[in-house]
């Protein structure tokens, strides 16, 4: 499986570390109360199909990515930088599609 890092291009899965549901990026504030904190800490979706996941490009550019992956086929549907995420974790769409012009090319390589 290859993951299309927006900064590095398509890279081997072994360069990345999965961190689970991308909803983890949207931690509720203290004002949300204990039920929201419980849901954030303990409740996870387990979808059969497209799922937004948080991945860390540990052996590459050290960027945090939102990878949209079909959990039934393992097909990667897209990836975007987590720092650019404005969806609140609700959208299954990624900003970068495999096979786009960045392809396998090596980007200039800055850390994010």
* Site for Zn ion contains 51 (CB under 5 A): no
Binding segment toward Zn ion, per CB under 5 A, in 44-52, 55-63, 75-83, 98-106:
55-63
- DSSP-derived secondary structure letter, 95: S
Identify which of residues 27 and 63 has a Cβ nearer to Zn ion in the complex. 63
* Site for Zn ion contains 54 (CB under 5 A): no
* Site for Zn ion contains 60 (CB under 5 A): yes
- Residues sharing a CB contact under 8 Å with residue 13, sequence separation 6 or more, in sequence order: 1, 2, 3
Angle at 103 between CA 101 and CA 109, to 5 degrees: 100
Of 51, 52, 57, 69, the one binding Zn ion (CB under 5 A) is: 57
Cα–Cα distance between 71 and 64 in angstroms, integer?
A: 20
Min dist. Cβ of residue 82 to Zn ion (A): 12
Binding segment toward Zn ion, per CB under 5 A, in 21-29, 43-51, 52-60, 85-93:
52-60
Cα–Cα distance between 90 and 108 in angstroms, integer?
A: 31
Identify which of residues 39 and 83 has a Cβ nearer to Zn ion in the complex. 83
Nearest to 92 by CA among 63, 111, 61, 66: 66
* Site for Zn ion contains 4 (CB under 5 A): no
């Amino acid at each position: 499986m290859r993951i299309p890092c927006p900064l590095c291009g398509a890279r081997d899965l072994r360069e990345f570390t999965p961190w689970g549901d991308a909803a983890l990026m949207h931690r509720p504030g203290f004002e949300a109360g204990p039920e929201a904190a419980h849901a954030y800490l303990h409740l996870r979706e387990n979808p059969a199909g497209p799922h937004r996941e948080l991945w860390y490009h540990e052996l590459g550019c050290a960027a945090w990515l939102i990878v949209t992956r079909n959990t039934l086929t393992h097909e990667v549907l897209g990836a975007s930088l987590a720092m650019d995420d404005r969806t609140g974790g609700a959208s299954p769409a990624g900003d970068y599609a495999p096979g786009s012009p960045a392809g396998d090319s090596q980007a200039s390589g800055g850390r994010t």
